[in-house]
Structure 1
Amino acid sequence: MNDSHLTASTRFVEVDGEKFAYRRWGNASVGQPPLFFVQHFRGGMDHWDPLLTDGLAAGREVILYNGRGIASSTGTPRNRIEDMADDIALVIQTLGLSQVDLLGFSIGGFQVQEVALRHPHLVRKLLLLGTGLRGGDPKMEPRVLEVAPNPVPTAEDFLYLFFGRSEAAKQAGLAFWKRRHLRADQDPPSSLAVAQAQAKAHAAYLQPLPGANPYAFLGALTQPTLVLNGVDDIMIPTINSWHLLQNIPNAQLLIYPDAGHGAQFQYPERFVKHAIQFLEE
């Protein structure tokens, strides 16, 4: 039986004396580079949507990844986005990969941008989901700071943080919540140390930048880039997606209606179609 999101084994690659957890499966025979996933704040490999990962794995290999100290990976969690990015680059190289497509969600989007800036030869294309940019707009809803740090997030927490406000959005969120718990051997939750380190990294990354165009540094991102967000992202304001579009030379932007931070989880089938089209162009 072929592997899937629910059956792919958790494996480890040793880098710099620590063990980084990953799962890898999919169609490796089509000539597409693997699609490497980097998750949101405190998130591990089981916070992805099986509809999304298996839908994309039909046409390429996918690799889910836990950063240093996150969930089943060992080590002290990184508290700088740049160091997280360097870890990703080392893992890619240690896995024997010459190039990947990178998909980053939320704080994962910060990390994959830095991989592409710091290690451009490793990255063919970028997918930036529900994310922002260095020096971007930090104005999240105040209640986010109460809900996001909850040690064991509930379905209601995810609905508030990730999804739109309509009844249809709520039902889509509850369906996602069920799908993401289908795997029997779930990753362990991330520690408080992960939350603290990532919060510090997030705050430092959003410090305002000087200059008439503080986002000009994104001009160095020459990779084709797909930016996705919901129309009302309460965690990383949607305006940041527009700044990414304006400053990355080869970027395109999708905004999904009645959606928030996790637009790809609210519309997984739609996102898979859009992502496949982008990756195969």
Structure 2
Amino acid sequence: MNTTHLTAPTQFIEVDGASFAYRRWGNTEGPNPPLLFLQHFRGGMDNWDPLMTDGLAANQEVILFNGRGVASSTGTPRTRIEAMADDAAAVIRALGLKQVDVLGFSLGGFQAQDLTLRHPELVRKLMLLGTGPRGGKPGHDDKDIPALVYKHATQAVPTEDNFLFLFFGRSQAAIEAGNHFWERRHQRVDQDTPSSPAAMQAQIEANLHFLPALDDAQPFGHLEKIQQPTFILNGQDDVMIPTINSYYMAQHIPNAQLFIYPDAGHGAQFQYPERFLGHALQFLNE
């Protein structure tokens, strides 16, 4: 029986005083290295879409991963994106890997950028979904949206309505796509442990420290140091990390390509999973 998102066992690896949870499966016969997934705010391994993870696993091995103190991983949650990226690098090396492809979504995209900048030798290709750079635009043009984002993102037990507001477009078709995602996301029987309130607060602090520019005169100058081929995706109207940030990254990362999906929000890859797989596989296999 082939291992899938629904059956891949949860494993643990001890690194620097913490036990990091991960799941690993997929095609090990091709030329591509494993693809490491870095997850969104509060998200664990079961917040990914099985259609997406299994579709990519048919192409190359995939590794789902929880950072320090997140969901089923142990340890004190990190309050800096740089430290989260260093943890990811340490886990990559502890798994005996010399290089990986990296897919970062939202907060995971912040980590993916710092992982690539701080440990460039570990990253072959970079995928940034629904995310933004240091020094980017922090809030939505509609002044009422940030308060609604905070309300939906910080519920003790996130509901389908929270995910629909944060991740999906507003049309009936977008809502239906969100409903289908929600069903797929809950198919696995032994679901990952929800992230703790402490992990949520640590990630809020890390997000706030990530937002300011490193250099006010050249706020995106650091992106020019990312030499890896880079895939950037967002929805037409991301209420969490404004879509304009994806343009900023595409303009300043030298070898970047940008995809904007229509009638979509923060989780464009979940709203259009088949379209995303087509674009992602072409990028990864080029």
TM-score higher than 0.5: yes
2:56 corresponding residue in structure 1: 56
Task: Say what the alpha-carbon RMSD is for the aligned residues.
Answer: 0.7
Structure 1 unaligned regions, length at least 5: none
1:47 corresponding residue in structure 2: 47
2:111 corresponding residue in structure 1: 111
Q: Secondary structure at the match of 2:23?
A: strand
The alpha-carbon deviation at position 6 of structure 1 amounts to 0.1
1:136 corresponding residue in structure 2: 136
Residues in 2 aligned to 1:213 and 1:139: alpha-carbon distance in whole angstroms: 20
Structure 1 residues 208 and 117: CA distance shift in structure 2, 3 A: closer
TM-score by length of 2: 0.97
2:81 corresponding residue in structure 1: 81
1:254 corresponding residue in structure 2: 259
1:216 corresponding residue in structure 2: 221
2:18 corresponding residue in structure 1: 18
Residues in 2 aligned to 1:233 and 1:86: alpha-carbon distance in whole angstroms: 28
Residues in 2 aligned to 1:92 and 1:253: alpha-carbon distance in whole angstroms: 27
1:147 corresponding residue in structure 2: 152
1:101 corresponding residue in structure 2: 101
Residues in 1 aligned to 2:56 and 2:213: alpha-carbon distance in whole angstroms: 36
2:171 corresponding residue in structure 1: 166
The alpha-carbon deviation at position 196 of structure 1 amounts to 0.3
CA contact (8 A) 2:79 2:205 kept: yes
CA contact (8 A) 2:11 2:22 kept: yes
1:203 corresponding residue in structure 2: 208
Tell me the amino acid that sits aligned with residue 171 of structure 1.
Answer: E
Tell me the amino acid that sits aligned with residue 88 of structure 1.
Answer: A
CA contact (8 A) 2:99 2:121 kept: yes
1:71 corresponding residue in structure 2: 71
Q: Deviations 1:82-109 (Å, cap 9, x if unpaired)?
A: 0000000000000000000000000000
* Residue 33 in structure 1 maps to residue 38 in structure 2: no
Question: Which region of structure 1 is more displaced relative to structure 2, 133-142 or 37-46?
Answer: 133-142
The alpha-carbon deviation at position 213 of structure 1 amounts to 2.6
The alpha-carbon deviation at position 211 of structure 1 amounts to 3.5
Structure 2 unaligned regions, length at least 5: none
Question: Which region of structure 1 is more displaced relative to structure 2, 139-148 or 49-58?
Answer: 139-148
Q: Deviations 1:24-52 (Å, cap 9, x if unpaired)?
A: 00000112100000000000000000000
The alpha-carbon deviation at position 235 of structure 1 amounts to 0.2
CA contact (8 A) 2:81 2:206 kept: yes
The alpha-carbon deviation at position 209 of structure 1 amounts to 4.3
Tell me the amino acid that sits aligned with residue 6 of structure 2.
Answer: L
2:195 corresponding residue in structure 1: 190
Residues in 2 aligned to 1:13 and 1:73: alpha-carbon distance in whole angstroms: 9
TM-score by length of 1: 0.99
2:234 corresponding residue in structure 1: 229
Q: Secondary structure at the match of 2:127?
A: strand
Residues in 2 aligned to 1:83 and 1:50: alpha-carbon distance in whole angstroms: 28
Residues in 1 aligned to 2:278 and 2:97: alpha-carbon distance in whole angstroms: 25
Tell me the amino acid that sits aligned with residue 243 of structure 1.
Answer: Y
Moved over 2 A (4+): 208-213
CA contact (8 A) 2:213 2:220 kept: no
Q: Deviations 1:155-199 (Å, cap 9, x if unpaired)?
A: 011000000000000000000000000000000100000110000
Q: Deviations 1:209-239 (Å, cap 9, x if unpaired)?
A: 4443310111100000000000000000000
